[in-house]
Structure formats: C-alpha cells, structure tokens
C-alpha cells in the first residue's frame, strides 16, 4: 500500500494524469503504475547508460515484482542522444524485443531521456502510453510534465516533436543524490523560472536551500510541478500566450545553448544566462525594478549558475540560432518579460536590436 505523499493532478480531460512525489518512490514504481490503472504488462524502459547504471536494476525489479515484463534500452548520456537516429535505433530494438501497440514506454532519466522516450512513445505503432520517472531537477520540476516531446536537429533544439502526455509521472527526490554537482545545480534554473513567472515567494524557499546538499523537499518539487500543471491545463498546445510564459529565459537561453556543441553548456546553465537577459529586457520594456532583478540574479549565483556569457560565443551566432526558434511567429518574436516577481507576460515589441543589447549585457 502506497503511503500518503505530495501529488499533483494534471487535469486534461481524457488525458489527465497524476504526478506522485515522494522519497523512495522508485522502488515502488511497479505498484504506482498498477494503482494508476495502467493494464499493459509489457514495458520498454528507456534510459541513458549512466542513469541505468544507478537506477535501472531497482526499476526492473519493481516492475517485475508487480507483474510487468520490462526490457531495458539505453542511449549514451548527453544531449547528442536526443536525435532522430537514436529514436529509430531504440524503436527498432523495441520491435525486435517483441513490443507492439500493447506495450508502454517508461522513461527513466533526465530531460533528454524524457523528451526522447516520449517522442518514441508518440510514434511507436502510431502511439503507445508512457510513464515518466525523472531523475534530475530539470526533469522533475519541469520537463516531465506537460507532454512536450522531441528531438534536436542541426538547425536547433526541439524543432521536431509531438505533444504526447504521459499517463503517470513518478518523482523520487532520492534519485538526485546520484547526480554530479553540476548536473544537480543546473536544474534550479527551471525552479527559479517558475518562481519568477508565477510565485515570487518561492524565491525565498529556494534561497533557503543549501546547494551543496541533495536535500530537496518533496513539497517544494510538488509546488513547482503545480505551477507547470496549471499553465499546461489552460494552454496544453501553446495556442494561447499562457503556456508561452514557461519560456521565460528560454529564447536567448536556447540560442546560447544551440551556439555550442551539444552538451558543452548544460540546459539549465544556458537558461540561467537567458533569464538574466530576460531580466534586462524586463527592466527596459515592463518596468521590472532593479531590486527584483538583482534578487533573481543573486539566486542564480547561489546555485553556481553562470550569469556572464563566455567571450567565445559570438552575438551573431546566437542571433542566427534565434531566427530558427519556435517562438518566432511570422518573423516576429514573442518574448516573455516580468512586470514584477511572480507576474509575467508576453510582449511582441522586442526587436532584434533589443535582443542584441540583452546578449551584450550578458558580457558585463
């Protein structure tokens, strides 16, 4: 019997699902999936080689003990694995292992694995269910919820993908203890983003954490997930401006990330720089106070996230990557700014010159 735990319900009519958050939940994953009413017995676990080495055996045993028949499929760790090539390779492995439309995918890993596994689930036999078991801060507070899946191409990140909601998300904060320091800290950029756009008081809760430990309260993770869930419920496919708020810091951040070889700068590190750039533009275009901006930058510093752009990354290169960003609509940019902490909005008055100025601001 599963004990009471923090949980968030994502209400999307027939695509609704629960997000369970509790320490030690990985070992109960099989029971959690069974209690969620998922009747499929064949499970293709998709993970990366590093995460599978830490957590693969525990997940396989939990699934087997609950009557499921799992197979494990891995990709090399890193952003480069989020590709059409790896999607095809894993899909063919699953076919050879006997998986079909009566199987499910279980994603075990960070954002790369979650995006790749979700994409595979959305196209395998024209779509099968999947479960997310995120193992990084980025994935736990953000990317595991909302149904965005995808792979990268040379022209940019996430330009190929689908909306495919999971049927269950299982979050075990204990998995964070196996992360290297850099991978652990980068995820807090997404938590800081959530606080900045929707819950300014959560900045104080984040400031109270010790970034040198792995003690992240389940309640704080659930609080982040709830912010993401409420926005996704109101704008599942980003057809309105509401879900676009989740892109705060991501416009320039993605441009920076795409300007380097995959994996050289972690996603959260690039988003940290993007957040600082967005704060600069928020001051110019939305009246964000210098004190509010400084509070966010100091929190980025607390988690050892970068806030000064490396000189080797050229402004023109970033601008070229930005031109291919999905947030450009008919050549115009939809940019997310803050009027105050916890109060974000989308504007369409940002120019290319503004973006260049924000990038140059990051060099100071």
pTM (two decimals): 0.93
Instruction: Confirm whether 65 is a catalytic residue.
Output: no
Q: Are 55 and 135 in contact (CB under 8 A)?
A: yes
**Sequence ranges of the domains in the chain:** 7-179, 193-361
Q: Are 7 and 159 in contact (CB under 8 A)?
A: no
Among the options 190, 236, 257, 269, which is catalytic? Answer: 190
Dihedral of the alpha carbons of 246, 153, 85, 127, in degrees to the nearest 10: 40
* CATH fold of 193-361: Dehydroquinate synthase-like, alpha domain (1.20.1090)
Query: Alpha-carbon distance 252 to 257, whole Å?
Result: 9
Among the options 3, 96, 126, 312, which is catalytic? Answer: 126
Instruction: Confirm whether 243 is a catalytic residue.
Output: yes
Instruction: Confirm whether 230 is a catalytic residue.
Output: no
Among the options 186, 238, 257, 269, which is catalytic? Answer: 238
Instruction: Confirm whether 190 is a catalytic residue.
Output: yes
**Is domain 7-179 in CATH 3.40.50.880, yes or no?**
no
Instruction: Confirm whether 324 is a catalytic residue.
Output: no
Query: Alpha-carbon distance 62 to 257, whole Å?
Result: 37
Among the options 198, 250, 276, 321, which is catalytic? Answer: 250
At 218, list the tokens: 């389940």
What does each C-alpha distance from 244 to 197, 250, 335, 356 come to in angstroms? 11, 10, 9, 21
Instruction: Confirm whether 254 is a catalytic residue.
Output: yes
Instruction: Confirm whether 304 is a catalytic residue.
Output: no
Place of tokens 């100025």: 357
At 86, list the tokens: 């790896």
Among the options 82, 157, 247, 269, which is catalytic? Answer: 247
Query: Alpha-carbon distance 179 to 312, whole Å?
Result: 28
pLDDT tens-place values along the chain, 364 residues long: 445 678 999 999 999 999 999 999 999 999 999 999 998 889 999 999 999 999 999 999 999 999 999 999 999 999 899 999 999 999 999 999 999 999 999 999 999 999 999 999 999 999 999 999 999 999 999 999 999 999 999 887 889 999 999 999 999 999 999 999 999 999 999 999 999 999 999 999 999 999 989 999 999 999 999 999 999 999 999 888 899 999 999 999 999 998 998 778 999 999 999 999 999 999 999 999 999 999 999 999 999 999 999 999 999 999 999 987 766 655 678 899 999 999 999 999 999 999 999 999 999 9
Instruction: Confirm whether 247 is a catalytic residue.
Output: yes
């Amino acid at each position: 019997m599963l004990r009471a735990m923090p949980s968030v319900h994502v209400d999307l009519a027939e695509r609704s699902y629960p997000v369970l958050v509790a320490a030690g939940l990985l070992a109960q994953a099989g029971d959690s999936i069974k209690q969620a009413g998922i009747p499929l017995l064949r499970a293709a676990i998709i993970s990366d080689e590093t995460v599978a080495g830490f957590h693969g055996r525990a997940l396989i045993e939990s699934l087997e003990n609950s009557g499921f028949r799992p197979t494990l499929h891995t990709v090399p760790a890193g952003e480069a694995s989020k590709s059409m090539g790896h999607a095809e390779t894993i899909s063919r492995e699953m076919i050879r292992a006997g998986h079909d439309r009566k199987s499910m995918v279980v994603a075990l890993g960070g954002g790369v694995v979650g995006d790749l596994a979700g994409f595979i689930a959305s196209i395998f036999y024209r779509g099968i269910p999947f479960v997310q078991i995120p193992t990084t801060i980025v994935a736990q507070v953000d990317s595991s919820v909302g149904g965005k899946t995808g792979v990268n191409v040379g022209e940019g990140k996430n330009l190929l993908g689908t909306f495919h909601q999971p049927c269950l998300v299982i979050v075990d904060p204990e998995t964070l203890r196996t992360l290297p320091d850099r991978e652990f800290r980068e995820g807090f950029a997404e938590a800081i983003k959530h606080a900045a756009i929707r819950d300014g008081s959560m900045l104080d809760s984040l400031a109270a954490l010790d970034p040198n430990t792995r003690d992240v309260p389940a309640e704080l993770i659930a609080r982040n997930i709830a912010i993401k869930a409420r926005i996704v419920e109101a704008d599942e496919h980003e057809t309105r401006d509401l879900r676009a708020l989740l892109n705060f810091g991501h416009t320039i951040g993605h441009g920076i990330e795409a300007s380097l070889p995959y994996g050289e700068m972690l996603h959260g590190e690039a988003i940290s720089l993007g957040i600082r750039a967005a704060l600069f533009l928020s001051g110019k275009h939305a009246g964000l106070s210098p004190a509010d901006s400084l509070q966010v930058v100091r929190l980025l510093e607390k988690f050892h996230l970068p806030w000064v752009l490396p000189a080797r990354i050229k402004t023109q290169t970033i601008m070229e990557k930005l031109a291919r960003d999905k947030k450009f609509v008919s050549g115009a940019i939809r940019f997310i700014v803050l009027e105050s902490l916890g109060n974000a909005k989308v504007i369409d008055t940002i120019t290319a010159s503004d973006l260049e100025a924000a990038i140059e601001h990051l060099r100071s």
